[in-house]
Amino acid sequence: MVLSNLITPLPETLAFRFYDLYCGNPVQDWSQEAQAKHRDAAPKAKVPPPPSPPAPPLPWDRYAGTYAGMVYGQVSVAAESEGLALIAGPGKVRLPLRHYDRDNFLGHWPEMGDGSEFKATFRIGGDGKAHTLVLSWDGETEFARMLEKP
């Protein structure tokens, strides 16, 4: 039995691998097959073009910070000279965010090919800084900005 609290093909992939090991079956790359199925099943919805002209973003540092979500834990948004980058996961995967319109940005998972674009929406608080980050990579996942240490 493989348990998971995420909607992902990982539990089945691991179960198939353990079954093959137990039964002495030839080695099969179940991860690659699951990733290919996921890529093929992913919606290929095109993001509509931004309004013309798009509303300008706030200064990058207003979005930068560490955000925490109940399912995925912490992600960071880094302000860089060319824009913003989302840093996620234990491997600190860096995903550039390109400006779309005002507080909306688009990100892309490079290893997933076409259709892996996601939207990053920042909600701005009364202090003029982002207080919430909503990522559309699996629906609408909300991350709350963590308080900065003085």
- The predicted-structure confidence for 112-126, as pLDDT tens digits, reads as follows 666 678 899 999 999
Q: Write the pLDDT tens digit of every residue in 13-68.
A: 888 888 888 899 998 898 888 877 766 665 555 677 888 999 999 999 999 999 99
CA distance 93 to 121: 19
Range 81-93 average pLDDT: 92
For the chain, how many structural domains are there in total? 2
pLDDT at 56: 95
Per-residue confidence (pLDDT) for residue 7, from 0 to 100: 64
Indicate whether 119 and 76 sit together in one domain.
Answer: yes
Q: Do 66 and 37 share a structural domain? A: no
> Is residue 102 left, alpha or beta, with left meaning phi > 0 and alpha meaning psi from -120 to 50?
left
Q: Amino acid identity, residue 93?
A: V
Q: Which domain holds residue 14?
A: 10-41
The closest alpha carbon to 112, from 39, 32, 33, belongs to 39
What's the whole-number average pLDDT of the chain?
87
Same-domain pairing of 86 and 33: no
